[in-house]
Structure 1
Amino acid sequence: MHFLSPDLEQYIEAHSEAEPALLAALSRETHLKVLRPRMITGHYQGRVLSLLSRLVHPLHILEIGTYTGYSALCLAEGLQSGGSLHTIDVNPELRAIQQKYFQKSDYADQITSHLGEALDVIPGLKQTFDLAFIDADKAEYPDYFEAVYPKMNKGGMILLDNVLWSGKVVEPLDVKDKPTHILLSLNKKLQQDPRVRTVVLPVRDGLTVCTVL
């Protein structure tokens, strides 16, 4: 579902910060070589992630769902000097393209990639985090959130992508549609969760921003 007309989307991109050349190259290669390229964060949402990261100015970032590395590179733009970004993905076939662009970036020494299930990896991380981005298996979103929360510093920010799920959250519900059921429940829970302050932004497919109280 397009929440805005293509003309408005084009206007918004044109009047936002330009897409860095490295990220434009990563986007092109993703669309040429990788299955389901629509999963890439892309120019506009990438600039939103970059801006939020710069506002938080995190020492440590956690990302669940690397895909080809576009969002990680956007988030890394706000890192403090000496900071780190840990990104987790289950797909070994994407590792080559991730590492190619991580190594070309200014953040090569700050990004650590983990291959495996996020719920297995997170408990073993020694850092606490100022910023987290959840963008992986929607069925696992509630468990991801609960795994991430104890690792967050007070005042930190947790971001969750695709929370509007192509508009399905406001459409007649198919009883067999498990991801939509889960997102509906999670969206309601986060709005009422006393541990966080929550707002849903209509950015692309919906971006929830939670600040840790």
Structure 2
Amino acid sequence: MSYKEWKREAKENIRLLPKYGDKPKTKEQLASDSQLIDEYIKQEGSRRNASEVLIKLGFNYLYRGDVRTAMYRFNQAWLLDPENENVFWGWGAIYFTFNDTIKALEQYDEGLSKNPENSNILTDKATVFMNRYHESKDTASLSSAISLFSKSYLIDSLNQNTSYKLSVAYFLTKDCDNALRFYDICEKLGGKPIQKEYAVALESTCKK
């Protein structure tokens, strides 16, 4: 589905909008929401637990390319717990998938307003700025990315995605010491995000 198609469908389908577009719902829709909330709380024990389960499902669908179902799950997660900042992480990821970085940042910022120390949101927000650097070579965007990645790393030093992207960001600034440092950290954590092309480029440019 293209973003143009998504936006066109969202005019008729409020489930494709964060928070259902804050649109009024029918009695049938409200009854369905109430039933879903009751069932998930019964299964998972609390609103937060149920919300987290739905967020995980949403990301699973997103990684498989089913953006529509991912958005449905993120909205259901919000129904269960509107204060769960990870819902906004999910919505931001949806918009980032469509390369709408403005809307992605809006969602990430709202999530961070609920929990400024959510490392996953910080890393994905930083990724937006790094992508902007790739597109425009704007060094201010790269600096913002490094600042956010660094903050995220201080909160969660075990996130391989963060350490890998920090390495790449420092490599782009020609800071070989930090590029190698965070590459090694990521590698020791398992190195799952490491791309072969980057490893080769790092080795040839920043020989140990």
TM-score of the alignment, normalized to the shorter chain, above 0.5: no
> By percentage of residues, which structure has more helix?
2
Higher relative contact order at CA 8 Å, sep ≥6: structure 1 or structure 2?
1
> By percentage of residues, which structure has more strand?
1
TM-score when normalising by structure 1: 0.30
TM-score when normalising by structure 2: 0.31
